[in-house]
Chains A and B, each alone.
Chain A
Amino acid sequence: MKKALLIIGIVFVVLWSIIPIYWALNISLMYHFEVYSVPAHLFPEHPTLYNYLRSLGFSVFNPFTNRVDPPVGYPIREALINSFVVASMVSLITIAIATPAGYALGRYRTRHSGLLTALLLGSRTLPPVSILIPLYIIGLRYRLLGTTHGITVMHLALVLPLTTWILMGFFSTFPSEIEKAARVDGATRLQAIVRVVIPTALPAIVSAGLLSFLFSYNEYLFSWVFTSGTPAQTIQPTLASMWFMIGEINIMAAATILSLIVPVVISLYFQKYIIQVRLVDPYALAFE
């Protein structure tokens, strides 16, 4: 009885998680004519990588029309590269700022640290729309629109409070005796951080960096407002504008699946850690 219930549960979890991905994958492996079959095919009849190759900038022979089709007119490859560059910069800068700040907040009780942590928490609850409007106007004024560094700065606004909070939580549970030992062994505050604390905390810092990377890579709203239709366009707004511009659903599906490769890889890394490190969300940690 219990066993049967468990099996039903497991099947449900798998179907729930897989079906939406499977359906897009299914369509992405079809030629255009098959997409509109009624009812829709549950498996592609002629599975092909045609859509993927065209998305990535290759000309592909289509056996059903006997034509060589040109690469899709959308800079998907460039968008992926842009996203990668932006997310890398965001995560590096975030780590550079959030590691010392998280350490300071987690380790030292200063007079204003209460105010600062409240501010971090507040920033996390802030509706993105509410700072999007003024930041867009600021972006217009300082010519940050349509640039890679512009969207990088915008993502910092969103990611910094989150990452600082995560690292603060980590450092507040970090055994202080290790740094005390380093201080007594003759290291200054800075030396203790650089030579002992950071190497020890590296897995957590890397995790926080990967989370910032993922956040930036996945962010849509700011990316759309700041980069759509420009050479700096990242992957999320590219998916969005394709939807409005081209009718080839199968190509779009392939582009969507391509955009999911990075998140899948990152989630593979995290499933090892998520239970121990509990990099869930600062908001949750705040109330623990």
Chain B
Amino acid sequence: MAQPFPKRKLTDERFAIILLLPLIIALFALNLYPMAYSFWLSLTNTDVSRGISKFIGFINYYNLVFKDPYFWHSLRVSLQFTLEASLLAVALSLTFALILNESFKGRRIIRTIAILPWAFSTYAVASLARYLFARSYGLFSSLYVYLGLSDTPVEVVTSESAIHILALLFAWNYVPLGAFFLLAQLQIIPLDLYNQARIDGASAIRRLKVVTLPFLRRPIAIILLLFTVFSVVETTLIIGFTGGGPGKATQTLTYWAYAKTFMDYEYGYGAAISWFLILIAMALGVLYYYVLNKLKL
């Protein structure tokens, strides 16, 4: 039984709550209330272009899943993008981290260069990519000409290739984050372990397998989690690079929710799509939490 604390005295708990108050207010006003509002919207047929707003229950959700062919299409595109983008980003992060962890002349400068894409806005990444992949003035289409594969520049971004290029761009933007996170982990591997392995006669590849990778298993799982969640909700890159096209080839769920709301003005329907996204993101979060913390990966 804890003894009563004198009323007027400031306890640690009361003090902590005072410090937290502004944050709590901000979170309620700017995150929780909007979420609740968005849920309410998803239960209405709000459509600004037609000027209607009526409570219709879960009809939006019903239509979404059972009536709208675009839903399944978008879900499939989202899935493909997430899978490709996150796996590519993880693989490259690991490669970059291992390279940048070696000691060589000018490592500082190379690290400085490698970190740059991290600081760029996703929209800027999309812009840079538009120059790179453009038909007339793009580097890649012109390379075909330089290499004698074609007389005229070719269209690089097609409905087949667009999703892969998006995954590549996502990786370009996020690899520094993953690479530097892994790099930080590499620094804490005790040097003795490497020396021990060397004394035991392990080759460089064997040392990588026996010493380095076991230490990176958990950090790799962490960045895989990061990249899946980030790629599921990625919108700006698609708006900036393909606008969901060509056709509907790169219309992911997030892009679709954005387009429904801000191009078609169907707020209610857009909100319903975004709630599917929230559920996916939450499920991913819980799944990873379980994998990482309960299974002690």
A111 to B11, CA, bound (A): 13
Contact yes or no, A278 B113, CB < 8 A = no
A108 CB contact (under 8 Å) in B13, B37, B137: B13
Interface size on B, residues (CB 8 A): 103
A137 at the interface (CB under 8 A from B): yes
Flag the segment in B24-32, B61-69, B79-87, B209-217 that touches A. B24-32
- A-side interface size class: 35 or more
- Could you tell me if A156 and B30 are in contact, using CB atoms closer than 8 angstroms? yes
Q: What 0/1 pattern do residues 1 to 37 of A give for CB contact below 8 A with B?
A: 0100010011011101111110110010000000110
Whose C-beta in chain B lies nearest to the C-beta of A224?
B239
Q: A100-B20, A123-B27, A160-B26 are in contact. Are A17 and B236 (CB under 8 A)?
A: no
Interface stretch, picked from A54-62, A74-82, A126-134, is A126-134
Partner-binding segment picked from B155-163, B189-197, B227-235: B227-235
**Interface contact tally, CB-CB below 8 A:** 292
Chain A CB within 10 Å, residue with most, of B111, B125, B236, B293 = B236
Q: Which of A63-71, A198-206, A214-222 forms part of the interface with chain B?
A: A214-222
Known: A108-B12, A267-B115. A256 touches B240 (CB 8 A): no
Looking across the interface, which residue of chain B has its beta carbon closest to that of A256? B127
Most chain A CB within 10 A, of B26, B121, B226, is at B121
A39 touches B146 (CB 8 A): yes
Binary flags per residue of B170-200, CB closer than 8 Å to A gives 1, else 0: 0010000100110110010000000000000
B177 near A98 (CB under 8 angstroms)?
A: no
Q: Say yes or no for A194: interface residue by CB 8 A criterion.
A: no
Interface residues in A124-157 by Cβ distance below 8 A to B read 125-138, 153, 156-157
Q: Is the CB of A129 within 8 A of B277?
A: yes
Contact B121 A217 (CB under 8 A): yes
**Across the interface, do B127 and A24 meet the contact criterion of CB distance under 8 Å?**
yes
Q: CB within 8 A of A127: which of B27, B117, B138, B232? A: B232
Q: Which of B33, B131, B240 contacts A23 (CB 8 A)?
A: B131
A122 to B270, CA, bound (A): 21
Contact, CB under 8 Å: A220 / B236: yes
Known: A39-B145, A108-B16. A287 touches B233 (CB 8 A): no
In the complex with contacts A127-B274, A220-B240, A14-B113 CB distance below 8 A: yes
B142 touches A19 (CB 8 A): no
CB-CB under 8 A from B204, the residues of chain A are 2
- Could you tell me if A121 and B110 are in contact, using CB atoms closer than 8 angstroms? no
Is A38 interfacial (CB-CB < 8 Å)? yes
In Å, the complex CA distance between A219 and B235 comes to 11
Q: Are A119 and B27 in contact (CB under 8 A)?
A: yes
> Given A6-B99, A40-B139, A164-B23, A220 and B34 touching (CB < 8 A)?
no
> Considering the complex, which residues of chain B in the window 235-271 have a beta carbon less than 8 Å from any beta carbon of chain A?
235-236, 239-240, 254, 257-258, 261-262, 267, 270-271
- Residues of A close to B233: CB separation below 8 A: 125-129
Chain A min CB distance to B96 (Å): 6
Q: Mark B58-102, 1 if CB is under 8 A from A, else 0.
A: 000000000000000000000000000000000000011011101
Find chain B residues with CB under 8 A from A256 CB: 124, 127-128
Question: In the bound complex, do residue A100 and residue B122 qualify as a contact, i.e. CB atoms below 8 Å apart?
Answer: no
| Option from B95, B153, B270 in Cβ contact (under 8 Å) with A9 | B95
- The answer to whether A218 and B122 have CB atoms under 8 Å apart is yes
Given the known interface contacts A133-B38, A249-B137, the answer about A18 and B22 at a Cβ–Cβ threshold of 8 Å is no
- Whether, in the assembled complex, B17 has its beta carbon less than 8 Å from a beta carbon of chain A, the answer is yes
Q: Which of B111, B131, B258, B289 has the most CB of A within 10 A?
A: B131
Report the 3 A-B pairs with minimum CB-CB distance, sorted nearest first.
A218-B121, A157-B30, A263-B119
For the complex with contacts A133-B41, A189-B10, 18 further pairs of A-B residues with Cβ separation under 8 Å are: A6-B104, A14-B113, A19-B132, A19-B139, A101-B22, A104-B19, A108-B12, A116-B23, A125-B229, A129-B277, A131-B38, A133-B267, A160-B27, A220-B121, A221-B258, A243-B130, A271-B112, A287-B288
A–B complex contacts, Cβ < 8 Å, 5 sampled: A12-B99, A105-B16, A130-B277, A156-B30, A218-B124
